[in-house]
Amino acid sequence: MAEAYIVSAVRTAGGRRGGKLAGWHPVDLAAATIDAAVERAGVDPAALEDVIMGCVGQTHEQGLHVGRNAVLASKLPESVPAVSIDRQCGSSQQAIQFAAQAVLSGTQDLVLASGVESMSRVPMGATGRFTPQFEAGSPKSHRLDERYPGIAFTQFKGAEMMAQKHGFEREELDEFALHSHRKAVAATQGGAFRDEVVPVEVSDGSGGTTMHTTDEGIRFDASAEALAGLKTLEPDGRITAGNASQICDGASAVLVASEAAVKAHGLRPLARIHAFTVTGGDPVIMLEEPLFATDKALERAGMSLDDIDLFEVNEAFASVPLAWLKHTGADPERLNVNGGAIALGHPLGASGTKLMATLVHALRARGKRYGLQTMCEGGGLANVMIVEAA
């Protein structure tokens, strides 16, 4: 039976909006992680057969085929092709799935899955926003409006709907957010991210440069009082900037190899891709699909929740992982053990490979076997992938 292995998994440390990574062109930032993934695997760059790059804001500096541009800005030869994909926040997790499918099918042996998002330079909404009704220039068409009349699809509304549906009050969301920061602080101080982070040169603010290696969004002084003092995004709502993921700049990459490539190139697998799936559901509540996608993925894999040692559920909003925990009954101590996007940032199209880098290295560091990663995505979609540490 064919196998697909992860032989390197890297990411940049996150940068706040307008922060340390804002000076990096996203193409160059993506190229830096491509180079690092290839170098750490120890493979000939010319051996790569494709680069699949996830990116949500594919316009302006991330337009005109960001994946190919990143390859041309990297140390890879021109002979390496690329494709840019958009499955919203799950774009680079889908990139891993496409890479695994190529390898498992036997049509390719070495494929790089990657992602990039400079939310400082290409802000959310740059590619368009839904309107409640059809308007010229809106992504909402006449037919879409007929099916969903008067609805402007929005993740912020979906997050509020999830909190209300699953019965989570503002205080519970804030408590989850506080724990995310505390776990991220502990992970950073304990060196948990050392093997996955690619250092990149940034301005030190004094005319010199320094290496960016620490996620900029972590609040080392996070407190319940500070979170409680933030305004909700909607009047009488429960979601605040403090219990939602942080706008973030970043790039990440995961190199996927066949068993034949592992042997031919003398590669050292970090993990084996065990199972994966993608599902679609309600586009209005939008962010709930990871709950049901997890059920399907476990069923298809012939596994139970007890078989999984660590979970990465993207913290787009605190209501998402909390609802996922409630639905699955999973042990919260195994969830996002090094913190999540509330503390570390959510660079949209780069988050899938970013989370996979964290999950793979966390499994190995803790001597655990199986990890499950899932991501809520615009349009009511969700990817799930199960990996086994090598």
Residue with tokens 């012939």: 302
Single out the residue of 188, 174, 158 nearest to residue 342, CA to CA: 174
Can you tell me the distance from the alpha carbon of 53 to that of 67, in angstroms, rounded to the nearest whole number?
5
Residue 146: inside a domain: no
Q: Of 212, 274, 346, 361, which residue is the catalytic one? A: 346
CA distance readout (Å), 379 to 80, 142, 158, 246, 252? 32, 17, 10, 20, 23
Can you tell me the distance from the alpha carbon of 312 to that of 374, in angstroms, rounded to the nearest whole number?
6
Does the annotation count 376 as an active-site position? yes
Considering its fold, how many domains does the chain have in total?
Answer: 1
Does the annotation count 89 as an active-site position? yes
**Token duo for residue 301:** 């894999």
List the chain residues with pLDDT less than 70: none
Q: Which amino acid is at 93?
A: Q
Single out the residue of 301, 282, 284, 307 nearest to residue 292, CA to CA: 282
117 CA to centre of own chain: 10
Single out the residue of 356, 354, 285 nearest to residue 319, CA to CA: 285
* Chain segment 114-158, per-residue pLDDT in tens: 999 999 999 999 999 999 999 999 999 999 999 999 999 999 999
pLDDT at 228: 98
Residue 65: inside a domain: no
Return the half-sphere exposure (C-beta side, CA atoms, 13 A cut-off) of residue 382: 29
Can you tell me the distance from the alpha carbon of 294 to that of 47, in angstroms, rounded to the nearest whole number?
34
**Within 10 A of 126 (CB to CB), how many other CB atoms are there?**
17
Q: Of 55, 89, 212, 274, which residue is the catalytic one? A: 89
Residue 100: inside a domain: no
Question: 143 CB contacts (<8 Å, ≥6 apart)?
Answer: none
Q: Of 166, 181, 248, 376, which residue is the catalytic one? A: 376
Single out the residue of 271, 254, 256 nearest to residue 103, CA to CA: 256
Residue 144: inside a domain: no
Residue with tokens 């093997």: 195
* Chain segment 244-295, per-residue pLDDT in tens: 999 999 999 999 999 999 999 999 999 999 999 999 999 999 999 999 999 9
Beta bridge partners of residue 376, listed in sequence order: 382
In which domain, by residue range, is 343 found?
Answer: 274-389
Single out the residue of 53, 41, 57, 137 nearest to residue 96, CA to CA: 53
Residue 286: inside a domain: yes
Residue 39: inside a domain: no
pLDDT at 1: 75
**Within 10 A of 113 (CB to CB), how many other CB atoms are there?**
32
The residue count of the chain comes to 390
Single out the residue of 138, 104, 27, 137 nearest to residue 73, CA to CA: 27
Can you tell me the distance from the alpha carbon of 276 to that of 278, in angstroms, rounded to the nearest whole number?
7
User: Residue 377 is part of a domain; what is its CATH number?
Assistant: 3.40.47.10
Q: Is the CB of residue 305 less than 8 Å from the CB of residue 330?
A: yes
Residue 10: inside a domain: no
Does the annotation count 55 as an active-site position? no
Residue 55: inside a domain: no
pLDDT at 248: 98
